[in-house]
Amino acid sequence: MAADFLSQNKAVLLEKPFTFFYHDAEALIKLAENNHTLLMAGHLMEYHPVVLKLAALMGKGQMVPLRYMLLECTNLGKY
C-alpha cells in the first residue's frame, strides 16, 4: 500500500514495523527518493516534551552523550 502511494508522489508515514524485511524497506526508501517524496516511520515519543528537553540539554553540553535510552509509556495520566 505504501508503494502505491509513493508511486503517486504522495508522502507516507508508516507505523512500526516499517516493513518485515530489510529488502522491502530498502525498496520503499528508493521509491521515495526516486519520486522526490517523503517517507517517514512513526516514532510516538520523538516529539514528547521530555525527549525535546533531553535533546536541548545535550545540545548545550549539560549532559553526557547518551548511548542508549529506553522510554516506556505507562499511561499514568498526570503523574
Helix, strand, or coil (residue 41): strand
Least Cα distance to 11 among 39, 43, 42 occurs for 39
Distance between CA atoms of 79 and 63, rounded to whole angstroms? Answer: 25
How big is the chain by its Cα radius of gyration, in Å? 17
The verdict on pTM exceeding 0.95 is no
The model's pLDDT over 2-42, given as tens digits with 9 standing for 90+, comes to 999 999 999 999 987 889 999 999 999 999 999 999 999 88
76 or 34, higher pLDDT:
34
Domains defined for the chain, CATH in brackets: 1-60 (3.40.50.720)
